Chains A and B, each alone.
Chain A
């Protein structure tokens, strides 16, 4: 069975602060994908990143960075110099890499509020 835990439910920061959103996962699969999605107040789900389990390199995209550590089963997301537009609910998700029963398991989400 797969499980994704986002222990932080709500985070509030002041603009320009750095913030890290934690994600811990459980899976019996040896190969899998990890994802982050953003859900702004408008409600749509926006794909941010996909990482496969055999690529542990950290990734940076502008102000966003992701730290994947297989040893601790974590895939944390850091926003540097946060902005008000970063206010959203952020979901971490997990899926097997292959197989007929592949499906995406989401965490419960973290609500990030960035205050001006």
Chain B
């Protein structure tokens, strides 16, 4: 049981490049989400998904795309990287049940992205 895995751990991009941050979980969690962490800002929700085929925007979605074709995977795409997207990105997943949406979220180890 690997939990939530993220690749890559580190990435440097040039402005305008595109890339996909990978996130996978093997706990059969319905709920998955992406956060970015910036100094002094805490964690801010980018996008989330309540199940395969269903995604929605969070607090800071601009510049990012997501899709959820399987329960296990929830990739985050940067379409045209900008220096403002330099951040640490965390993927998370959680269990959900009919009466409550989720319990605690399990976080991946993070991806540190630098855009020059």
Contact = CB atoms under 8 A, between A and B. Distances in A.
Interface in B63-116: 88, 90, 92, 99-107, 109-110
Given A43-B110, A103-B33, A104-B33, A95 B102 contact: yes
Contact of A103 (B45, B88, B100, B104): B45
Contacts of B92: 45, 104
Nearest to A99: B101
State the majority secondary structure of interface residues on A. Answer: loop
A47 B104 contact: yes
Interface residues of B, number: 27
Contacts, number: 55
A59 to B, nearest CB: 14
B69 to A, nearest CB: 20
Interface residues of A, number: 26
A47 B99 CA distance: 22
Nearest to A104: B105
Interface of B: 31, 33, 35, 40-45, 48, 50, 56, 58, 88, 90, 92, 99-107, 109-110
